[in-house]
Structure 1
Amino acid sequence: MTLTLHVDGERWRAHLRGTAELYDGIIPVIKGNGYGFGNRALARRADWLGTDTVAVGTYAELVDVLPRFGGDIHVMTPWRPFWADTVRTERMYDPRVVHTVSRVEDLDLLRTEAPEGTRIVVEGETSMARHGVDRHALTSVADNLGRLRLIGFSIHLPLSEDNLAEADSWAAAFEASKLAPAVSGTPVFTVSHLTDREVRTLAERRPGLVVRPRVGTALWLGDRGAFRVTGLVIDSHVVERGERIGYRQRPMPVGGTVLIVSGGTSHGIGLEAPTSASTMKQRATSVAKGGLGAAGLALSPFTVAGKQRWFVEPPHMQASMILVPAGVAVPAVGEEVEVDVRMTTTTFDAVDAP
């Protein structure tokens, strides 16, 4: 099976350099499936960019990033006592790892488990309401640092059009708290989901902080024209209207050709995140898709002769069955067809990145 990510290497590298220059002090985010490229590849690419720090999502991701990136690694998932059951201690407390603290009650055990001088950042609870210390608890954190080394503060913001006000509010709260004097050197303030202009504005407003943006999607996937995805046609069959085929033996609504194309559920094909529809048009589209799904019809991400084609049935683990209506030019076995995928949920068989 070959679901392939094709990368225009020169164009992608130019985009990475341009984005790194745009975001002063950028901290590349490397997590999950590595935005389709794989965490190992992104760790090497971050080293190539010359940044001194990257951010990973979880402690488990250290196994791929630590050997391939020479700088510091900020783990964004907050430290919890049970992570030690799943991650090797020497990796978890590598001197290059920076931990996130989001609960006052974790500090006692972290001080006991971690080597003296282990670096931490404190995360504030933003309107995301995901992780973080309430701003009224910042004093309690400062009083319980002990032998841990505080280097700064961190916030994770929602996907809003204007996050600057909330970021500035948290920066003010941090500077006014007992945490700021507890930092040795200039405090680092790491933020997510700010535009490059907002990052510069925040840095100008808060000269006492080193504002560093964590950037993932805009860095790695900001120029979608730099890559494309293809699936390989591995078989084809002419079918008649009403003929029953596939696992579920559904009758064909029209005659044509069924293509068996590489790319299935193990790659992430046909898997969808919950809808984030917020406008009436988006909701209407979701309702229409739901109605088609109830009727057993689903549009595939595979494009043949310039149009997305329908699934014959839900994708299989490693391949999909696609219906090409009669009268449409059919690609031959061995040819590639274009696939429109969500990069953060797709696993590729091969990455062609010269």
Structure 2
Amino acid sequence: MSLTLTVDGERWRAHLRQVADTHPGLVPVTKGNGYGFTLARLARKAQWLGVDTIAIGTYDEIGHVAQRFDGSLLVMTPWRPFGAALDADPSQDPALARRLVHTVSRVEDLETLLTRQPDARFVLERMTSMQRHGMTARELWAAARVLADRPHARLEGIAMHLPLAQGSHLSEVSRLMNDVVAAGLRTTTVWVSHLTDAELAALAQSYAEYTFRPRIGTGLWLGDRSALSVTATVLDVHDLERGDAFGYRARTAPKSGHLLIVSGGTAHGIGLEAPTGESSIKARAATLARGGLDAVGFVRSPFSIDGKQRLFAEPPHMQASMLFLPAGARVPAVGDRIDVRVRYTATAFDRVDVT
């Protein structure tokens, strides 16, 4: 009765171990929906891997992982003097405060954080071509001046969040590293995201006195897709004749066939589409094709039967979807499971079965 993520446990664990063994200083990223696995499960698996730090997305996620992973917790959303960041109050939970590593992206926030907690642990984020958060070279120098008067502040390193764009990041990181070196900060650790293994090796060779710690999420948890499968349960099957009405909106069947009700709906993320960022001609053509189907009342669903994606009979409901199966196609029985193609980072599964 569920939308289920099934994991080949032996294969998945072997992949996790291989990534950890080949990436010294690995910082597993556990954020959002936990890449479909849930934050709690990923925190426990990071504990099993033996890493000393995990990265979480926001301060609101601390409660999901703090009791399941006993190392340091790097919060990647920059610290601000308002909101959930202030809930991490050292006076309320000193032990947890000692485990937190804040990300600081503004000089004024650095001053405020250290006024509130003089011995706070933190990384300084350097602005990259992503243009999301971070300090300029001049601001890094200003941060160094602030830290010169804060002997108890615990600078854990510099953070760089690179874009996912194709091409090498080496030239950009080398330029940013020049700024880090020139700022004279008392750290030799750099926390990086979205660098390839070859780029990490090249940087380690060029900056031998620095330690580069890769923050890896997708490549770690979802790097071996063959270990993962998603299925939905067939909940009901109804015969349809042309002109029969069905669904919330009383649509009529365009031809004879079958109406399948399957588990998985908008509450799970089914049918909710986010921009993919793809700009190829093929991707644009696919978008136009989907629009054409939608215009005549048909939308291709992520549910597959016998290797063929089936059409939504109407927009998905909260926890179930209606599919139209034309006459002549094999009709699965109630209780059968069918394949579903999803974006793991945008899907909430009813069950995660690790075999």
Same fold (TM over 0.5): yes
Residue matched to 1:4: 4
Cα 1:201/1:152, change in 2 over 3 Å:
same
The Cα shift of 1:305 comes to 2.2
Q: Deviations over 1:122-144 (max 9, x none)?
A: 00110101100112211111122
Aligned partners of 1:139 and 1:168: how far apart in 2? 17
Q: If the length of structure 1 is used for normalisation, what is the TM-score?
A: 0.95
The Cα shift of 1:86 comes to 6.9
Residue matched to 1:119: 121
Aligned partners of 2:286 and 2:247: how far apart in 1? 28
Residue matched to 1:45: 45
Residue matched to 1:36: 36
RMSD: 1.5
Residue matched to 1:252: 253
Residue matched to 1:276: 277
Aligned partners of 1:91 and 1:224: how far apart in 2? 39
Cα 1:260/1:84, change in 2 over 3 Å:
closer
Contact 1:6 1:352 (C-alpha < 8 Å) held by counterparts? yes
Contact 1:304 1:324 (C-alpha < 8 Å) held by counterparts? no
Residue 235 of structure 2 aligns to a residue in which SS?
A: strand
Cα 1:226/1:237, change in 2 over 3 Å:
same
The Cα shift of 1:289 comes to 1.4
Aligned partners of 2:296 and 2:131: how far apart in 1? 38
Contact 2:88 2:97 (C-alpha < 8 Å) held by counterparts? no
Residue matched to 1:159: 164
Work out which of the residue numbers 103, 119, 131 in structure 2 matches 1:129: 131
Contact 1:101 1:121 (C-alpha < 8 Å) held by counterparts? yes
| Structure 1, unaligned runs of 5 or more | none
Residue 317 of structure 2 aligns to a residue in which SS?
A: coil
Cα 1:86/1:176, change in 2 over 3 Å:
closer
Instruction: Report the more deviating stretch, 154-163 or 85-94.
Output: 85-94
1:14 aligns with 2:19: no
Contact 1:138 1:178 (C-alpha < 8 Å) held by counterparts? no
1:150 aligns with 2:151: no
The Cα shift of 1:173 comes to 1.2
Contact 1:171 1:189 (C-alpha < 8 Å) held by counterparts? no
1:220 aligns with 2:226: no
Aligned partners of 1:51 and 1:191: how far apart in 2? 16
The Cα shift of 1:96 comes to 0.9
Cα 1:56/1:314, change in 2 over 3 Å:
same
Aligned partners of 2:137 and 2:253: how far apart in 1? 60
Residue 94 of structure 1 aligns to a residue in which SS?
A: helix
The Cα shift of 1:242 comes to 2.3
The Cα shift of 1:277 comes to 2.4
Work out which of the residue numbers 176, 181, 189 in structure 2 matches 1:175: 181
Q: Deviations over 1:270-299 (max 9, x none)?
A: 111124121122112212212222332211
Residue matched to 1:344: 345
Q: Deviations over 1:15-40 (max 9, x none)?
A: 11111122222110000000000010
Contact 2:60 2:84 (C-alpha < 8 Å) held by counterparts? no
Instruction: Report the more deviating stretch, 36-45 or 294-303.
Output: 294-303
1:106 aligns with 2:109: yes
Aligned partners of 1:71 and 1:245: how far apart in 2? 54
Residue 144 of structure 1 aligns to a residue in which SS?
A: helix
Residue 6 of structure 1 aligns to a residue in which SS?
A: strand
- Aligned letter for 1:159? L
Residue matched to 1:77: 77
**Same amino acid, percent of matched pairs:** 53
- Aligned letter for 2:173? A
The Cα shift of 1:241 comes to 1.6
Aligned partners of 1:87 and 1:294: how far apart in 2? 48
Aligned partners of 1:41 and 1:107: how far apart in 2? 33
- Aligned letter for 1:149? R
The Cα shift of 1:251 comes to 1.8
Aligned partners of 2:354 and 2:116: how far apart in 1? 42
Residue 67 of structure 1 aligns to a residue in which SS?
A: coil
The Cα shift of 1:88 comes to 4.6
The Cα shift of 1:8 comes to 0.3
Aligned partners of 1:67 and 1:310: how far apart in 2? 43
Cα 1:120/1:85, change in 2 over 3 Å:
closer
Contact 1:23 1:199 (C-alpha < 8 Å) held by counterparts? no
The Cα shift of 1:112 comes to 2.0
Instruction: Report the more deviating stretch, 306-315 or 80-89.
Output: 80-89
The Cα shift of 1:316 comes to 0.1
Q: If the length of structure 2 is used for normalisation, what is the TM-score?
A: 0.94
Contact 2:113 2:120 (C-alpha < 8 Å) held by counterparts? no
Aligned partners of 2:275 and 2:295: how far apart in 1? 17
Aligned partners of 1:223 and 1:87: how far apart in 2? 37
The Cα shift of 1:231 comes to 0.5
